[in-house]
Structure 1
């Protein structure tokens, strides 16, 4: 039986899947121990509570949604590149770069840096396209 190892790119898929959860945690941070009647986090109606947030909390929640939106393409690109026998080191570097860009994107989103955030988003998309295409022959 042949055993394969978990590549850096696969680890990056795991990290990318956890990023939306980190964004949600950020949006809720500091409000978990505050009573609901005082504006604290409402675990009975969490989506409604998040929808009422403003400023950086609202942006953290939006970053959560965008992180979920970016996830399928990244997962698909990594899997397809693996299936096509893409050069592993290149794929690992691009996947790692995607994760770094996504973290920068989230920080810029929460900080309200719209133009820079959009540029970083475009670079992340380019990484995904590159991952998808590196296995093409």
Structure 2
């Protein structure tokens, strides 16, 4: 497996691990029979963890597809790996800014992550213009 493919797995784990600790910590008030009960997420940190989790679910498909298409169309693997690793780092920082209630920085990081995804997606198209 490539570094980029491991980053796809890492990105999946980031969005899963964003919500799991909140449910574990609140195990006395979390009802697994009603996992989407709004009253559990009334607490601000829980609400932010849920938001970060949901955004991770939303951003994951584009990232995974971009990586796989770039690899399928023989874009330079080293560039795919670099951008995928950068995306994973940005996503981790994004989660921390979401949990830390830093909306402006969070939005900046989201835009950086989206731009990285676009870069990965279009790597096959621009591969002939890249150095080395």
Same fold by TM (over 0.5)? yes
Whole-Å separation in 2 of the counterparts to 1:71 and 1:48: 24
Whole-Å separation in 1 of the counterparts to 2:108 and 2:38: 30
Given the alignment of the two structures, is residue 117 of structure 1 paired with residue 71 of structure 2, yes or no? no
Whole-Å separation in 1 of the counterparts to 2:39 and 2:94: 20
Given the alignment of the two structures, is residue 132 of structure 1 paired with residue 121 of structure 2, yes or no? yes
CA RMSD across the alignment: 1.4
Given the alignment of the two structures, is residue 53 of structure 1 paired with residue 48 of structure 2, yes or no? no
Matches within 5 A, 1:1-137: 6-32=1-27, 34=28, 40-48=29-37, 52-137=41-126
Which residues of structure 2 form unaligned runs of 5+?
127-132
Partner SS state of residue 121, structure 1: helix
Q: Which runs of 4+ in 1 moved over 3 A?
A: 49-52
Give the TM-score, by structure 1 length. 0.86
* 1:75 CA drift (Å): 0.7
How many residue pairs get aligned? The number is: 126
Higher helix share goes to which structure? 2
Q: Is the 8 A contact 1:26 1:57 kept in 2?
A: no
Give the TM-score, by structure 2 length. 0.89
